[in-house]
């Protein structure tokens, strides 16, 4: 009988101790989950140019891309929606599904594909007698006349779907330094200068529409100033194999982008 009583007493004491422990645990403050971060946009956000991708789905999302690296740096839960080739209406129709009132941060880069930058580079790289001046003029007219409305529509939708988020609009670096270092893509100094001028027009237009919506604009042009195609230390790939890697930030470029974007995620 004594042994039975002792066992009952020990069991009762153990249950009491467990109850106290559970009560203390329940009273402890809960650890807040990391912020919610949604990365939208085109190949400059997905990570084309870094040569290593998370899935073979045509979007070329990379663990070396700035959204992935910035999210890890702040402990954020990342919804990585950016996809290679995306235009404003692709972001609108295919990438906004994970936005909500609980979204803390949004980054978006888009507009270059709308303006046809890839096609312009392809045309400019063709040998004489092909020229690309008309293509550049067409892009300039599109950026001035059509792109602002497309951006306004997209930015308005982002705000309506993520009303509490800080939205960071990320621009594009200028690609060229005036030199010709790729034998198979001999863009003249004049063509490079005109394309850089169009790049400035694109960034300035995006910045204007972003600021009109109360969004933060991240401008990478100064950071990439001496790291363009043909510079001694390139942060942007020149003509590459495979060609999909061409004229996009490499891994060092995305480190630079991360350094620009990360401070805004606060």
Dihedral class, residue 107 (left if φ above 0, else alpha if ψ from -120 to 50, else beta)? beta
pLDDT digits (tens, 9 = 90+) for 119-166: 999 888 887 778 899 999 999 999 999 999 999 999 999 999 999 999
Name residues whose C-beta falls within 8 Å of residue 180's C-beta, 6 or more positions apart in sequence. 186, 187, 188, 189, 230
Does the structure show a pLDDT above 50 at 24? no
Residue 126 sits in the same domain as residue 22: no
CATH code, 91: 3.40.50.1110
* Number of domain units in the chain: 2
Catalytic site positions: 43, 248
Q: Which residue has the higher pLDDT, 53 or 17?
A: 53
Collapsing DSSP states into helix, strand and coil, what is residue 140?
A: helix
Same domain, 170 and 182: yes
What's the confidence (pLDDT) of residue 126?
A: 82
* 3/39 same-domain check: no
- Do 46 and 11 share a structural domain? no
Tell me, yes or no, whether 156 and 126 share the same domain. Answer: yes
The whole-model pTM stands at 0.86
**What is the pLDDT at residue 31?**
43
181-198 pLDDT, tens digit each: 776 667 888 999 999 999
Res 72 pLDDT > 80: yes
**Residue 122 burial class via C-beta count within 10 angstroms: exposed 0-12, middle 13-18, buried 19 and up:** middle
């Amino acid at each position: 009988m004594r042994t039975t009583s002792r066992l009952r007493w020990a069991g009762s004491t153990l249950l009491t101790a467990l109850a106290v422990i559970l009560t203390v645990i329940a009273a402890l403050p809960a650890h807040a989950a990391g912020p919610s971060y949604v990365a939208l946009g085109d190949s400059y956000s997905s990570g084309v140019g870094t040569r290593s991708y998370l899935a073979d789905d045509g979007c070329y999302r990379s663990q070396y891309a700035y959204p992935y690296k910035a999210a890890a740096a702040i402990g954020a839960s990342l919804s990585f929606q950016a996809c290679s080739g995306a235009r404003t209406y692709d972001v609108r129709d295919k990438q906004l599904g994970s936005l909500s009132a609980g979204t803390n941060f949004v980054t978006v880069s888009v507009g270059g594909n709308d303006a046809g930058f890839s096609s312009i580079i392809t045309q400019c790289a063709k040998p004489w007698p092909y020229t690309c001046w008309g293509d550049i003029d067409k892009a300039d007219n599109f950026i001035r006349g059509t792109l602002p409305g497309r951006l306004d529509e997209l930015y308005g939708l982002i705000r309506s779907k993520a009303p509490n988020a800080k939205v960071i609009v990320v621009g594009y670096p200028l690609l060229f330094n005036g030199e010709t270092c790729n034998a198979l893509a001999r863009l003249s100094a004049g063509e490079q200068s005109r394309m850089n001028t169009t790049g400035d027009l694109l960034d300035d237009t995006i910045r204007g529409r972003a600021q009109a919506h109360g969004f933060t604009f991240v401008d990478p042009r100064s950071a990439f100033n001496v790291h363009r195609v043909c510079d001694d230390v390139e942060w942007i790939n020149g003509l590459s194999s495979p060609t999909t890697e061409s004229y996009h930030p490499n891994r060092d470029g995305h480190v630079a982008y991360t350094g620009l974007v990360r401070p805004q995620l606060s």
